[in-house]
Amino acid sequence: MIEFINIKKSYKDKTIIKNMNLKINKGEFVVFIGPSGCGKTTSVKMINKLIKITSGKILIEGKDIEKEDTIALRRKIGYVIQQTGLFPHMTVKENIELIPRLEKLDSSEIEEKTIELLKMVGLNPEEYMDRYPSELSGGQQQRVGVARAFATDPEIILMDEPFSALDPITRNGLQEELFNLQNELKKTIVFVTHDMDEALKLADKICIMGNGEIVQYDTPENILRNPANEYVEEFIGKNRIWNNPEYIKAKDIMIEDPVAISSKRTILQGIEIMKNNKVDSLLITDKEGHLEGLVTLKNIKKDPNKVLRLEEIMEQDIIAVEEDDNLIDILETMNKNNIGYVPVIKKDRKLAGLITRSSLLSILSEQFIEMEVN
């Protein structure tokens, strides 16, 4: 959809962007983030030619934007900025309808679309259409700015720190609305922020910049798990993943290689294996390692003579989680079913690990101590 090829931007003898290469796929929400002066806003403004490229190419749908008519290009790209950019002498309705009317679209369709857009951003059309920007709060103005960006139904929306001037409550509300809008409309959104929390809440991919270069471009999950270098680690915060439990997966916290044995073992053999490994339950797997069942002390007590095989007493309807299930879901599963442990399986039901309440507490307490020390 959008491709940066060897992009460089210089002002006199100062280079702002250095040999930038980047691809943004159609329908992705990509967040550019980094400290002031890193080149994030410059990068985004080059997409709609508000800033001219020094060298290199930006392609949209395979076409070089330098060869496109600038006005026509900008009319096909929605743009939302921090100061909203609303015309103060125009009503809300006039602001939203400006570009569609310049495009000479059907008047009745324009009005219908304006009503739809205002509802979409949480503003009552009857109450707000005829108001002027000065009669709106900052959050309301920004909602109108978002509505105007969607007015021509563009495939690309550029958003340059649109919520940074708002109070935290209004900001959180707008972030949630934008997230829901994107889920519904699947636009290609390029969003600039300096706030990592905002990036994590919204992005499909995050582009971390420093000194005019891309330091890491990846999914939020991969950036939190595998920061490219110390700069990224410091920027996102060393312990940030623990503040975002949805990114902590079963495979990150499970006990690997848990005690697992064949169902053909006798109860007596099972007891000996339990004693030797200091465990009170056994996971049962087949020759290929697929999870078949679970044997607990409670199951063993059902056969006082201990002559049966484990396959005759094991529980087969067992609750398990998958490797990519997150910490929130795992805790919910354990609490909902009132269980102290849960096996972790792969997609093909091969046993991958085990999570117990005690192992969870151990991991979480270690992390808490580390955060306190740091």
> What residue spans define the domains of the chain?
2-247, 251-364
Give the pLDDT of residue 28: 95
The topology under which CATH files domain 251-364 is CBS-domain (3.10.580)
Tell me, what's the pLDDT at 234? 82
pLDDT score of 32: 96
* Residue of 79, 12, 6, 13 lying closest to 49 (CA atoms): 79
Fold matches, 2-247 and 251-364: no
Q: In this structure, which topology does domain 2-247 adopt according to CATH?
A: Rossmann fold (3.40.50)
At residue 239, the pLDDT reads 61
The candidate with the shortest Cα–Cα distance to 215, out of 203, 225, 207, 204, is 207
What are the b/e assignments for 285-320, b being 16+ CB within 10 Å?
beeeeebbbbbbeebbeeeeeeeebbeebbeeebeb
Per-residue pLDDT tens digits of the chain, which is 374 residues long: 899 999 999 988 888 999 999 999 999 999 999 988 889 999 999 999 999 999 999 999 999 999 999 998 988 899 988 777 888 899 999 999 988 888 888 888 888 889 988 988 888 999 999 999 999 988 889 889 888 888 888 899 999 998 887 888 888 888 888 888 888 889 999 999 988 888 888 999 999 999 889 999 999 888 887 888 888 888 887 666 666 777 788 888 888 888 899 999 988 888 888 888 888 889 999 999 999 999 988 888 877 767 788 999 999 989 999 998 988 888 889 888 888 889 999 989 999 999 988 777 766 655 544 444 44
